[in-house]
Amino acid sequence: MNLSEKFILVTGADGFIGSHLTETLLKQGYKVRAFVLYNSFNSWGWLDTLEPELKSRLEVFSGDIRDPNGVRKALEGIQVIFHLAALIAIPYSYHSPDTYVDTNIKGTLNLLQAARDAGVEKFVHTSTSEVYGTARFVPITEEHPLQGQSPYSASKIGADQMAMSFYSSFGTPVSIIRPFNTYGPRQSARAIIPTVITQIASGKREIKLGALHPTRDFNYVADTVRGFIAVAESEQSVGEVINIGSNYEVSMGDTVSLIARIMEADIEIVTDEARLRPEKSEVERLWADNAKAERLTGWKPQYGGLEGLERGLRETVAWFSKRENLASYKADFYNI
């Protein structure tokens, strides 16, 4: 599929990955409508930081994916959908699970129904590696069992199944992209990499963190964005679930040590009980098998392995270390 000829909708365009995807699509000359969460401040989230020339070419729709009427309005004239809008914070899902069902499952259903009626040509639905839970085997292929170890991951499993059901039942051209742990500029400080960087950049040397033993497959945001576009362009991706990951496993503790070395900081780690997941909810191990992505779309990471992780972390540190960017974060507070 040639995206240059299509009108593209990005939901969740105001967020971390969504803003990077929107920015990249605009830079490549594509016609984009950004679906952002309505608010009385008229804030477009991270899209407000884009270059004026890019913003001048961007069409913005303020709404809420929980509202089916607004969703239908947002889809007028659209051929391709990148669906990223979701609630993603795992700790927040422990005490507000209803909102995750309403946003992640019902919101996805609203979008799917509208997409079916509108006859869209491609619907790229965003999943998460959290749906796998703690790895039963590694590297994790797309055939790995799904395990809802948090209300968040359970809601994403539900959303994934809803999306695939529309492909099976109605022939809606759905592709499910399943990114592993994406990091980079603009990420929320609730995640481990930005919380470490922002604390060090703010002058702290006693760093408050949660569990350090779990392993993750970190994926730099530029690679994740390339994965979204590759999945959208691939005709073979329809009806498929596709992992986007670096195929490199690293512990949280080793990641923290690498950040400290890059930032030339001598730190002491303090366990903050508020940042620990319930024991059975912690996902102990994630490691992506990305062979299917390369086979179906030609995508492979440009920030793979230890070298790629360090390069991506250096770019992330450089962004967060700029005073104007760091000012957007509250390093003294833990926001679930």
Can you give the pLDDT at residue 271?
86
Mean pLDDT over the full length of the chain: 96
Average pLDDT, integer, range 119-128: 98
pLDDT band for position 43 (cuts 50, 70, 90)? very high
What pLDDT, on a 0 to 100 scale, did the predictor assign at position 274? 81
Residue 65, pLDDT > 80, answer yes
Q: Where are the domains of the chain?
A: 3-182+218-246+287-303
Comparing CA positions, the residue from 116, 105, 230 lying closest to residue 179 is: 230
- State yes or no: pLDDT of 332 exceeds 90: no
> Which pLDDT score, from 0 to 100, does residue 313 have?
98
Please name the residues in contact with 169: beta carbons below 8 A apart, sequence gap of 6 or more.
none
Instruction: Answer whether 73's CB lies under 8 Å from 11's CB.
Output: no
Position 268 confidence tier, pLDDT thresholds 50, 70, 90: very high
Q: Determine the pLDDT at residue 157.
A: 98
Q: With cut-offs at 50, 70 and 90, classify the pLDDT of residue 294.
A: very high
pLDDT of residue 190: 87
What per-residue confidence (pLDDT) applies to 336?
Answer: 74
**Does position 335 have pLDDT exceeding 80, yes or no?**
no
- 117 pLDDT band, cuts 50/70/90, is very high
The string of pLDDT tens digits covering residues 157-199 is 999 999 999 999 999 999 999 999 999 999 999 899 999 999 9
Q: What is the mean pLDDT of residues 26-51?
A: 97
Please check the confidence at residue 48 and state whether its pLDDT lies above 90. yes
CATH class of 3-182+218-246+287-303: alpha beta
Give φ, ψ of 36 to 5 degrees.
-115, 155
How many Cβ atoms from other residues are within 10 Å of residue 15's Cβ?
A: 24
Q: Tell me the per-residue pLDDT of 72-93, one tens digit each, with 9 for 90 and over.
A: 999 999 999 999 999 999 999 9
Better-predicted residue by pLDDT, 189 or 225: 225
Give the confidence band of 334 by pLDDT, cuts at 50, 70, 90: confident
- 3-class SS string, the chain: CCHHHCEEEEECCCCHHHHHHHHHHHHCCCEEEEEEECCCCCCCHHHHHCCHHHHHCCEEEEECCCCHHHHHHHCCCCCEEEECCCCCCHHHHHHCHHHHHHHHHHHHHHHHHHHHHHCCCEEEEECCHHHHCCCCCCCECCCCCCCCCCHHHHHHHHHHHHHHHHHHHHCCCEEEEEECEEECCCCCCCCHHHHHHHHHHCCCCEEEECCCCCEECEEEHHHHHHHHHHHHHCHHHCCCEEEECCCCCEEHHHHHHHHHHHCCCCCEEEECHHHCCCHHHCCCECCECCHHHHHHHCCCCCCCHHHHHHHHHHHHHHHHCCHHHHCCCCCCCCCC
Residue 278: CA count within 13 A, CB half-sphere: 11
**For the segment 303-325, what is each residue's pLDDT rounded down to a tens digit?**
999 999 999 999 999 999 999 99
The predicted structure's pLDDT at residue 272? 84
